[in-house]
């Protein structure tokens, strides 16, 4: 890959800057917002509880982004494609959750035990629906184009994303839909040093962390996980070793979709409003998270998810939520300029 | 009209080859343009047919611009709407009441006659606004291109998409950005009314007679078409194509990557800006909510449908999609789902229809309706080739 970078090596001080420590520049950039607002808080109120609250909300938002980001990273790792439709898979997860509450008649009136059983059932339903959907997308839109120029599957991915968005639009209409607040997500669960941790925060982390651990164990420990890693490294060699590459790729999409489905459920419970457009923004935010951590790297995706969640929360809380997408995308561009391989990532071909 | 290397007869495609023989191309092109020029005499000057024709021509200008970036240079730009927005705001700044707080009651008029010259705000001649739009979008195109220089493939797509979204956000929230009396944009409220086009020696255009708008849009489209052909066959155009086919090989043959890529972004952006300024004046509004990702995809779908890098194909794609978008879906087929007993209008799922079209085109006929020969060759070689060879080639 060195050959590819040679022609540009003469150009620009930018490259020198990157070599001098893109990672540190990136870390510094990431610290700008928290540090600036931390100082502002300290000088105005004398404590950091507002920043602490941002951090907690950020972590629970970040848990959702982390789950979605893993889907991007898995798929990118194995077929080097940005699955543009992944955000929509997440959205469909939320919709399935909302629909499933109605089907099994789950309301806030159910006791804690009933709620727990109901939510676990919903979780399974969401994960199954989103996982299967993701596999179908791969089958219809990406597999026929394997071996075609890079542009082709990317364009079908965008197309699929629009189709699914419209499915969501027809499903629940064009405006945000409120859903039943099953876990009273805004209610304070406990307070620690002036930082309020709400039910929603607890739920987000309680679902996300076990799922991520399970997934890492699956990829690290099972035969199929090994096949996935092998395919990611070299599809041809993997095929020669008797690995069914098509099945492995389908499994990767299934896993990614399942995590997105879980994220969809958490999002629905946490935000209590869902709408067809949530997947687009979420997809881009989660993609930013995946790139920030280093695409192809699962730990990186999780780390990136939490960081982006925090940044997003600070921006929502202090700059104004209508600016948040711009702030997140500005970070995306900055990462691309200074460290396209991300915080924990290896050099990839795409990132040069 | 194409380079000697590409004109070797190739008839290996699964699909019929729709390309005209070399000799017939120029006469057919001229006949086509003449037909387009006399077209308005057959329709009511203020009717919806004229409206569709104007929009189709304006979209063709944008699609030809995007074709330079995506088709020629192979840089997938998913944020093309940014240039539409910047062009539209150039019109908003240069030809409306928007800046009246800045200019005071007197207003500021440049080469403008009639009542507009007396109004507050800035009122410039449309040609000047076009120049302004071109300059602004070219600069913006290059700035957006800069971070993508060392990136490839899907990373470029994502960065351009991010820029498109950032510009869209700035358009929506720009009313919060103030510098003294100056407000960056009008936010969701939008800038309206916008001056109608006035050209030297002609009366100001009106919304009653759309023929003048059509001829102007057609003139822009023909200009852009000529520029497209000339560029494609120029040294720069060959550099773009070389870049698209193999970046490393192109660089080792002495193609300056940075300059070549930035010129692709800049040129493509300029056309988007021209069309944006025109559309702002034509639609009489600069509405921040229209600068959305789906618009980028709308334009991209034109390029894909017609055939990446195929100039006539892109024109065809622009006409077809603009007719589908502005006439077929809202006026003809809108009630079809209702008649089938489904509870929605077809206009609600316009974006999904275009998405579906992208998928179908890519899977069934990736070279587009009117494929460019060289591009088609690439695709045919690409499909079913050895993975390793393919990766080395496309990487």
Average of per-residue pLDDT across A230-243: 90
Helix spans in chain B (H): 22-38, 48-66, 81-94, 100-103, 126-145, 153-173, 211-232, 235-245, 247-252, 257-283, 293-306, 311-323, 336-339, 350-364, 373-382, 387-394
Average of per-residue pLDDT across A224-245: 90
For residue A165, the chain B residues in CB contact (below 8 A) are 351-352, 355
State the burial class of residue B327 (Cβ atoms within 10 Å of its Cβ: 0-12, 13-18, 19+). Answer: middle
Q: Do B147 and A160 touch (CB under 8 A)?
A: no
State the burial class of residue B49 (Cβ atoms within 10 Å of its Cβ: 0-12, 13-18, 19+). Answer: middle
**Is the pLDDT at B20 greater than 80, yes or no?**
no
Give yes or no for a contact between B282 and B275, defined as CB atoms under 8 angstroms apart. Answer: no
- Position A346 confidence tier, pLDDT thresholds 50, 70, 90: low
B108: DSSP letter: E
Sign for the pseudo-dihedral over CA of B206, B207, B210, B213:
positive
Question: Whole-angstrom Cα distance, residue B30 to residue B20?
Answer: 14
A272 Cβ partners below 8 Å, 6+ apart? A178, A179, A180, A181, A185
Matching CATH number, A52-338, of 3.30.70, 1.10.3470, 1.20.120, 1.10.260: 1.10.3470
* Percent of chain A clearing pLDDT 90 (strictly above): 40
| Average model confidence (pLDDT) across chain B | 83
Question: Whole-angstrom Cα distance, residue A288 to residue A331?
Answer: 8
CA distance B33 to chain A (A): 31
Instruction: State phi, psi for B183 to the nearest 5 degrees.
Output: -115, 135
Instruction: State phi, psi for B95 to the nearest 5 degrees.
Output: -150, 55
Output the DSSP codes for B327-378: IIIIIISTTHHHHTT-SS-GGGGHHHHHHHHHHHHHHH-TT-SS--HHHHHH
Among the listed residues A341, A268, A309, the one whose alpha carbon sits nearest the alpha carbon of residue A65: A309
**Domain ranges within chain A, ordered by starting residue:** 52-338
Site from B67, B153, B289, B374 to mutate, A interface, most A CB atoms within 10 angstroms: B153
CA distance B72 to chain A (A): 13
Residue-wise pLDDT tens digits, A127-174: 999 999 999 999 999 998 887 777 888 889 999 999 999 999 998 888
- Position A349 confidence tier, pLDDT thresholds 50, 70, 90: very low
Q: Do B165 and A150 touch (CB under 8 A)?
A: no
**Is the pLDDT at B304 greater than 70, yes or no?**
yes
Among the listed residues B306, B248, B362, B262, the one whose alpha carbon sits nearest the alpha carbon of residue A151: B362
Question: Whole-angstrom Cα distance, residue B390 to residue A319?
Answer: 47
Question: Whole-angstrom Cα distance, residue B335 to residue B331?
Answer: 9
Q: Could you tell me which chain B residue has the CA closest to the CA of A15? A: B150
Pairing between β-strand B108-110 and β-strand B122-124 as defined by DSSP bridges: parallel
Question: Whole-angstrom Cα distance, residue A348 to residue A80?
Answer: 10
CB pairs A-B closer than 8 Å = 175
**Is the pLDDT at A8 greater than 50, yes or no?**
no
Nearest-5° Cα angle at A141, B392 to A157 = 80
Q: Do B293 and A280 touch (CB under 8 A)?
A: yes
Pairing between β-strand B182-183 and β-strand B178-179 as defined by DSSP bridges: antiparallel
CA distance B254 to chain A (A): 9
Question: Whole-angstrom Cα distance, residue A76 to residue B336?
Answer: 39
Report which listed range, A49-58, A98-107, A160-169, B141-150, is most confident.
A160-169
* pLDDT (0 to 100) of residue B148: 85
CA distance A209 to chain B (A): 28
Give yes or no for a contact between A312 and A324, defined as CB atoms under 8 angstroms apart. Answer: yes
Question: Whole-angstrom Cα distance, residue A70 to residue B79?
Answer: 25
Q: What's the gap between Cα A20 and its chain centre?
A: 30
Site from B74, B250, B363 to mutate, A interface, most A CB atoms within 10 angstroms: B363
> Cβ of B14 under 8 Å from any chain A Cβ?
no
Give yes or no for a contact between B279 and B88, defined as CB atoms under 8 angstroms apart. Answer: yes
* Residue that wins the pLDDT comparison between B40 and B179: B40
Cis peptide before B246 (omega within 30 of 0): no
Whole-Å CA distances, B322 to A43, A115, B277, B317: 57, 51, 18, 8
Whole-Å CA distances, B156 to A293, B92, B113, B145: 18, 30, 45, 9
Pairing between β-strand B182-183 and β-strand A188-192 as defined by DSSP bridges: unpaired
Pairing between β-strand A195-198 and β-strand A188-192 as defined by DSSP bridges: antiparallel
Instruction: State phi, psi for A350 to the nearest 5 degrees.
Output: -65, -40
* pLDDT (0 to 100) of residue B46: 80
- Position A15 confidence tier, pLDDT thresholds 50, 70, 90: low
Whole-Å CA distances, A141 to A161, A296, B297: 11, 21, 17
Q: What is the pTM of this model?
A: 0.86
* Percent of chain B clearing pLDDT 70 (strictly above): 89
Q: What's the gap between Cα A352 and its chain centre?
A: 23
> Cβ of A337 under 8 Å from any chain B Cβ?
yes
* Residue that wins the pLDDT comparison between A277 and A347: A277
**Is the pLDDT at A7 greater than 50, yes or no?**
no
* pLDDT (0 to 100) of residue B7: 39
- Position A13 confidence tier, pLDDT thresholds 50, 70, 90: low
Question: Whole-angstrom Cα distance, residue A48 to residue B206?
Answer: 60
- ipTM field: 0.83
**Is the pLDDT at B1 greater than 50, yes or no?**
no
For residue B382, the chain A residues in CB contact (below 8 A) are 147-149
Question: Whole-angstrom Cα distance, residue B60 to residue B265?
Answer: 17
Q: Could you tell me which chain B residue has the CA closest to the CA of A82? A: B154
Q: What is the largest CA-CA distance in chain A?
A: 67
Residue-wise pLDDT tens digits, A262-291: 999 999 998 889 999 899 889 989 999 998
Q: How many CA atoms lie within 13 A of B266 on its CB side?
A: 13
* pLDDT (0 to 100) of residue A9: 43
For residue B85, the chain A residues in CB contact (below 8 A) are none
Residue-wise pLDDT tens digits, B88-141: 999 998 888 887 777 776 777 777 777 777 778 888 888 999 999 999 999 999
Q: Do B300 and A158 touch (CB under 8 A)?
A: yes
């Amino acid at each position: 890959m060195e050959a590819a970078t040679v022609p540009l090596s003469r150009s620009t001080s930018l490259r020198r800057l990157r070599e001098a420590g893109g990672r540190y520049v990136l870390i510094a950039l990431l610290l700008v917002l928290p540090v600036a607002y931390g100082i502002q808080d300290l000088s105005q109120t004398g404590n950091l509880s507002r920043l602490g609250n941002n951090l907690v909300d950020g972590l629970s938002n970040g848990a959702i982004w982390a789950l979605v980001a893993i889907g991007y990273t898995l798929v990118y790792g194995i077929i080097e494609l940005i699955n543009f439709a992944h955000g929509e898979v997440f959205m469909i997860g939320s919709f399935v959750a909302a629909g499933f509450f109605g089907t099994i008649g789950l309301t806030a009136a159910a006791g804690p035990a009933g709620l727990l059983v109901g939510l676990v059932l919903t979780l399974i339903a969401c994960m199954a629906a989103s996982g299967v959907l993701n596999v179908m997308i791969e089958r219809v839109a990406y597999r026929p184009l394997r071996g075609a120029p890079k542009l082709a599957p990317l364009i079908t991915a965008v197309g699929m994303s629009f189709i699914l968005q419209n499915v969501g639009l027809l499903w629940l209409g064009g405006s945000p839909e409120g859903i039943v607040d099953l876990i009273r997500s805004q209610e304070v669960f406990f307070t620690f040093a002036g930082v309020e941790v709400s039910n929603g925060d607890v739920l987000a982390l309680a679902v996300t962390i076990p799922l991520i651990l399970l997934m890492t164990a699956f990829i690290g420990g099972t035969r199929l996980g090994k096949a996935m890693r092998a395919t990611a490294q070299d599809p041809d060699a993997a095929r020669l070793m008797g690995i069914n590459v098509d099945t492995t790729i389908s499994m990767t999409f299934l896993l990614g979709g399942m995590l997105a489905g879980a994220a969809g459920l958490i999002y629905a419970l946490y935000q209590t409003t869902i709408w067809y457009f949530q997947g687009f923004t979420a997809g881009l935010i989660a993609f930013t998270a995946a790139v920030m951590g280093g695409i192809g790297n699962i730990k990186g995706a999780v780390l990136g998810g939490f960081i982006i969640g925090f940044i997003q929360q600070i921006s929502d809380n202090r700059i104004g939520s209508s600016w948040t997408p711009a702030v997140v995308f500005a970070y995306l561009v900055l990462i691309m300029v200074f460290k396209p391989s991300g915080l924990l990532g290896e050099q990839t071909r795409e990132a040069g | 009209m194409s380079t000697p290397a590409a004109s070797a007869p190739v008839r290996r495609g699964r699909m019929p080859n729709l390309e005209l023989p070399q000799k017939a191309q120029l006469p057919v092109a001229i006949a086509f343009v003449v037909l387009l020029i006399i077209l308005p005499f057959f329709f009511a000057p203020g009717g919806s047919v004229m409206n569709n024709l104007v929009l189709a021509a304006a979209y063709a200008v944008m699609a030809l611009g995007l074709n330079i970036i995506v088709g020629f240079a192979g840089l997938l730009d998913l944020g093309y709407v940014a240039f539409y927005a910047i062009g539209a705001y150039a019109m908003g700044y240069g030809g409306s009441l928007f800046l009246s707080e800045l200019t005071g009651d007197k207003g500021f008029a440049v080469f403008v006659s009639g009542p507009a010259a007396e109004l507050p705000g800035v009122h410039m001649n449309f040609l000047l606004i076009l120049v302004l739009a071109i300059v602004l979008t070219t600069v913006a195109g290059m700035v957006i291109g800069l971070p993508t220089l060392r990136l490839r493939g899907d990373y470029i797509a994502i960065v351009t998409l991010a820029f498109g979204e950032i510009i869209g956000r700035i358009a929506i929230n720009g009313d919060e950005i103030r510098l003294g009396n100056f407000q960056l944009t009008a936010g969701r409220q939008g800038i309206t009314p916008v001056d109608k086009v006035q050209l030297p020696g002609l009366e100001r255009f009106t919304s009653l007679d759309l023929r003048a708008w059509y001829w102007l849009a057609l003139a822009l489209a023909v200009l852009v078409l000529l520029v497209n052909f000339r560029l494609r066959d120029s040294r720069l155009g060959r550099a773009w194509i070389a870049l698209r086919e193999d970046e490393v090989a192109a660089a080792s043959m002495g193609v300056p990557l940075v300059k070549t890529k930035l010129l692709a972004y800049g040129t493509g952006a300029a056309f988007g800006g021209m069309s944006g300024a025109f559309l702002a004046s034509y639609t009489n509004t600069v509405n921040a909510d229209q600068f959305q990702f789906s618009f980028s995809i709308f334009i991209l779908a034109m390029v894909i449908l017609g055939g990446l890098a195929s100039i006539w194909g892109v024109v065809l794609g622009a006409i077809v999609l603009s007719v589908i978008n502005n006439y077929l879906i809202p006026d003809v087929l809108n009630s079809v789902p209702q008649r089938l007993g489904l509870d929605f209008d077809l206009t609600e799922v316009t974006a999904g229809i275009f998405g579906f079209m992208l998928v179908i085109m890519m899977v069934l006929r990736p070279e587009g309706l009117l494929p460019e020969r060289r591009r088609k060759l690439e695709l045919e070689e690409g499909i079913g080739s050895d993975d390793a060879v393919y990766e080395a080639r496309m990487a």
